[in-house]
Structure 1
């Protein structure tokens, strides 16, 4: 038995068509191809059941009339869309009522010829309204194209999702480049990116969609198989998830603006590791940010609304955004955050030289000219910037990212995104001050301290007391292996001790151990008490040893001298005791002799 749905599709008196989407190299929806056309549709359009050419090839007027845009919105959102439109061109001159809705991977369209319906009284007025709408749509489409090109050229990953399933409705080229060959548009996020779902990113999107509260993620770890090679790549990203609302204020989607900060995070982690080990070095990773994007403008009636939504995103983002046009860098758009940097000033319509002349001595104009002329992006990090307010003036710091945007392949202007980084700068300055204090304390410590790294026990740090024990200068010691610097101690057991600490992770304590060094050209034996402590990386791996050493030569020698004196006194006492015993014995013999003499005489 035939499929009842297929029988119904062929018997329905209105035209019906099934379309499949067609994407370009940037994963943008650019056309539809016919999958099937029912008999009524074949009669209305004069086409076979499976037309060989695409929809826009048959009907190029579908773009200015808004029909193609209606199809795109219906496919992207999955919601039914109804559109009454006169169509004069491409061999047709009639009125259509179009109803479109996505079903699976296909777009289902029902179209009714309304030419026989009673509309003659409004036909002329409707045509005039449609002509005005086409003009407005053409202008909006030009603006959409310009904004879309800016978004595609921004050095950040930008995507827009629709509905509670987070269906992809827009991705820029930077985002798509991270997942080459992977189809994203029109697919629910968890289906398209299961690995990201497992790591909780779509749970965050759920939270933003349900609560309307933006989410700011700083240095989020992400592990994804970007190249589809079967193994993940570990990155860090800064991300902004922002709710997108319709005119009624209802949340209809989420904006995803992310950028890769892996290099900054890894650099800072290296500095943090050193800081944890002896807080010897601290540096800060600078964050640069570029923000914003807007949803693709689609249906004729919703194109203006979507353009407004795009500007609302610009206005609501915490980053300061400006668009400047032409070689004179004339402001054509600023958001509230950018305006707050220059309170009370009129910027839009003015060139940068007219609006903010105080920035010219700093070379800002010359750097913007370079971006405009070469197309090379510009990043100015941690720029001092005075911020004025009724409460007074405070010193702030901003990071500015400027990127040329193009129209028709030519550079038309510059987009600038500024993020305030005052807290990071002040925190780094405080850490540097603390680092200097730690270095001062390290140098003035009353014990010898040294740090050895790697299997060669390379000397990374040594304070003055340690250098004095070795009788070496800082230039001679740093960067050399310990036993390369001091070959005379190889046979004294210290290499086995340090190697054992790194192998076992157990500290070693030595008390008044002898050590022989060549000092001032003479082999000299000293005594040292020390602790060798393993140094661990963030992952627990042992990478080196820190040695805290006390020179106990003088106490040991003094104690040994006292011991020798004590033994000498003991020997003398023993000798005196023996002599006394002999004297006592001689005295007894003498008394005995005297007695004998007395007896003899008497």
Structure 2
């Protein structure tokens, strides 16, 4: 390398050229080695290496390199980092202050004591060095060399342990924590990490990392974690300094750690796993060694004391290395995962923990090639994948993969599933020298998931055959999780248009029809909502349509009792509504005919004929309506009975564990309850129609006291469960003239209601009284139960009105009683007050 290429001019010798030539001559004859280094910079403008651009002849002889060798300091002389030479070069170049450094260099094939001087010149680092190979060493120097040799051994041992830790940091449970999502919420942290952080488990779990450790914010960890989440590329750091608040004080710590991305089954990165060890003591020890080396270079008189201190540090480093090795092996042995370290191209098993031995039936593994140790894996893809990881260095992730194993070491193969990682390990030069296996047995989880999917498929088939419309809406946006063909027909949508979308995106036209408010109320209160003949305005094939539906919104709860979804069961009653509206239209026509009759006396004969015709049409319409209502209630019995049979078949086919699952069992119970209530409603509807069309029951003389006692015996189960005080005073009218079956229905319904709607805060007391006059018989049943307010009393006798939903019933009993009493020419009245009680008074005429 020419230091200056300026040539002499034609007019004579150039002084600058002469000076440059003289400088070149000095470099050539110098017995001191001269190096010219050019710094190389990293991302943060820090010096990461030096390029060797020039060596004078003395330096060429000492280093055995040409004049312009090229290459970098750490590539050619990797031992300079451990010896402290690299740090010395960085310090001189960064500060601009010249410096001297003495080192016993025992690396890279050299073993000499060097005196080094360095100085920065513009963008270069000029280094001069001599060695003592041609001089006799002093006893102090010999002692220092011996001390440094021992230190080198200790440092080499520490570095070997650190390399072993580095090989296992990707997955090994040393200090371990997992962070989930963009806010790095802590999902798991082991005791070693908690000790490093100075936090308890209760403080840590489900807490965002930088809320848990606010002092860590701004130290660069946020950017590192975000980079791993964004790229999916692991990040490895060594001896990274950090500030941490522990026990009321701020400590400076040094950590070796790995940020490893966590992936979902589809390969998406969902979080980060950190594996960390605290190397503060080692870093501080090395810093102390470096400080001692600097002190040694400046003060020779302290050499003997320095040797003693370095020996002590060496012993400390060796003890720490031994302790780390013991902790490492203990943590690996106790890890809940299966861990093994394979070395070399034949994947010889160097290390395997108890979990790994257990999955292979505790057969001998360590020291054997993997193919020889587990021959049953032949023909499966695992050996090929290990070869690929060893050859390429690329990590392989297996999720829920099938594995055929001899788990008992008896020759009997079993089919299992595993989630695992094959991670390449590297030597000091970065070359792949083995593979780390980190695996979990997920057989039970995979089989349970498959069984659950099969059960859901069966439930879906059952819902598809149901004669009513069924839907399930989950979450605050009422996302459609279930909708059977009946529901899709009402909506005018396909399954592809509806499933897994918010309800009011599927049906935007119903947003302002009040259904969202009803769903919000059910979700807020937990009280089901029942509606009859509600008009639903939807779009069918792009055209507006009005569908009339009876429906129920019922809350669904998780095992903790929280409402997570709302089930909707609906029935299209558009045809029934249309039929009733046709009857109303016929009545309107009749009214018009009557108006014409009074307005046209001249056409009286024709109007009477038209009126007769209209009356016949009305009679037929009423008969048709009764027939339709009876037929509808009768024909619904068959599909609901079929549905009950399907449900029972499903329950019998389900395994007991699934049948009693915390999620499945409540759904089965709710479905059976809905079927029972539907059957009861159809039965009572049929009774109402039959009652309307049945001929009047003949009146007989009835012993009221015997009838009340018979009803009490029929209600024995309810009497036993409520333990009421029943006071009967019917001496004032011992016998009544009334249809026996109808009188019994009146007493039975009023007495059972008095017991069912009792106030749980006090003992039930029920009075049954009767008194007669010449014209009337008055029967009164009074209780001290829950009572009713005025609005409830106004709706009391309506069909299907239920005012206390916590008690089973369909709101039919009081409607029937009122019809019976009024058909007999009597009246029924109620007086009630919430928290006091209720009294029903039935007044019946006395036959003449």
- TM-score scaled by length of structure 1: 0.48
Q: Quick one: higher RCO (CA 8 Å, sep 6+), 1 or 2?
A: 1
Question: Radius of gyration: which is bigger?
Answer: 2
Greater per-residue strand proportion: 1
Greater per-residue helix proportion: 2
- TM-score scaled by length of structure 2: 0.36
